[in-house]
Amino acid sequence: EPEVTQTPSHQVTQMGQEVILRCVPISNHLYFYWYRQILGQKVEFLVSFYNNEISEKSEIFDDQFSVERPDGSNFTLKIRSTKLEDSAMYFCASSALAGDPYNEQFFGPGTRLTVL
């Protein structure tokens, strides 16, 4: 069964460093998403991406964040200069369609980012 994969499973970085979190969405999907979950808090929407541009973003997704689909398979989230409060589990998701009522988003297992 196709699935969304994410690498690495755990990333440790120093404050101020840049990190890139990688995701491989399901191959025929067209819509891509990033969410994050700070420990003990809710899963929060960050951004959605379609046709090589951001469709929607939350207020969390500020200038420190960027997304890219550098080739036909990967979808990346870059945090330019990490802060302690960026420590969280980051989930990538993809969906085939956005306009249909169902719009199941398929989630990856997450990357745990720890900023020291």
Which residues are near other proteins by CB under 8 A?
Answer: 3-4, 31, 33, 35, 40-45, 48, 55-56, 58, 91, 93, 98, 101-110
CB of 109 to other proteins, least distance (A): 5
Give SS3 for 66. Answer: strand
CB of 14 to other proteins, least distance (A): 26
> Distance between CA 63 and CA 43 in Å, rounded?
21
In the bound state with other proteins, the residue whose beta carbon lies nearer, of 76 and 106, is 106
> Distance between CA 33 and CA 67 in Å, rounded?
9
Which residue bears the tokens 């420590």? 87
CB of 17 to other proteins, least distance (A): 26
Q: Distance of alpha carbon 108 from its chain centroid, rounded?
A: 9
Q: Distance of alpha carbon 105 from its chain centroid, rounded?
A: 13
In the bound state with other proteins, the residue whose beta carbon lies nearer, of 82 and 105, is 105
In the bound state with other proteins, the residue whose beta carbon lies nearer, of 58 and 74, is 58
Say if strands 31-37 and 43-50 run parallel, antiparallel, or are unpaired. Answer: antiparallel
In the bound state with other proteins, the residue whose beta carbon lies nearer, of 10 and 78, is 10
